[in-house]
Amino acid sequence: MTDALRKRIRAGELLIGTFVKTPAPHIVEILGHAGLDFAVIDQEHAPISIAQMDMMAMAGRAAGLPLLSRRWGKGRDWIAPLLDLGLSGVMVPHVMDAPDAEAVCDAIKFARNKRGLSPSPRAGDYGGMSIPEYRAASDAGTIAMVQIEDASALDHVDAIAAIEDVDMMFIGPADLSQSTGCAFPSAELDAAIERIIDAGKRAGMAIGLFVGDASHIPAWHEKGITLFVCGSDQAMLRKAASRLSAREFL
């Protein structure tokens, strides 16, 4: 387990990744060889089981691609089993307030004495790490991203940003636009996003954002976003195939 990605997030480096919606380790391997900084396996909006996650996590390690996962559900009991597979962290949807964010951190950090402990999975080198080594390595390297994508959560972003174990507030613009009742894109949505960015700046916390097209990255990076999830593996495939079918090369 490495803490390199977590350090880069906290250092405010520009990081670019994508969602993976296809349950295939080959996709992870290809993205790793392509040189992305990370990828997020999208268990929230794609049918990806924990057995498939196991193979994808193995591919991520082989290709040197840090992987996170996000998954639906209000409970937090899904987090630890995925971390056991050796993922670098999780992106948790619809985090509403500070107690909710604290519950996410409880599920991630061994130092909070609530996460089940065993060094026997891949993350603990199949028992090759001692319990103290595993606890220390996991807590130092595992990433806690909480998604801010609800109108009511906007009133709690300063409290969430004050939690030391939260590494990033990640903005889901589609759900945020739906929750706030504004168009996507729109000036009203941009104002809500900038409100989250400002909270991050006050607390020294990194802020992430989903963008559908890489052309949107420079403007948001200038405003303070440092991590971007750009599209998905399926969107990349569809876009490339559509260009071929449209004979754009002619």
Does domain 4-245 correspond to CATH entry 3.20.20.60? yes
Q: Please give the model's pTM, rounded to 2 decimal places.
A: 0.96
- Beta strand pairing call for 38-42 and 15-20: parallel
SS (H, E, C) 170-234: EECHHHHHHHHCCCCCCHHHHHHHHHHHHHHHHHCCEEEEEECCHHHHHHHHHHCCCEEEEEEHH
Peptide bond into 185 cis (omega under 30): yes
The predicted-structure confidence for 20-70, as pLDDT tens digits, reads as follows: 999 999 999 999 999 999 999 999 999 999 999 999 999 999 999 999 999
Residue of 206, 162, 156 lying closest to 37 (CA atoms):
206
- Encode pLDDT of 95-144 as tens digits: 999 999 999 999 999 999 999 999 999 999 999 999 999 999 999 999 99
Q: What are the residue ranges spanned by the domains of the chain?
A: 4-245
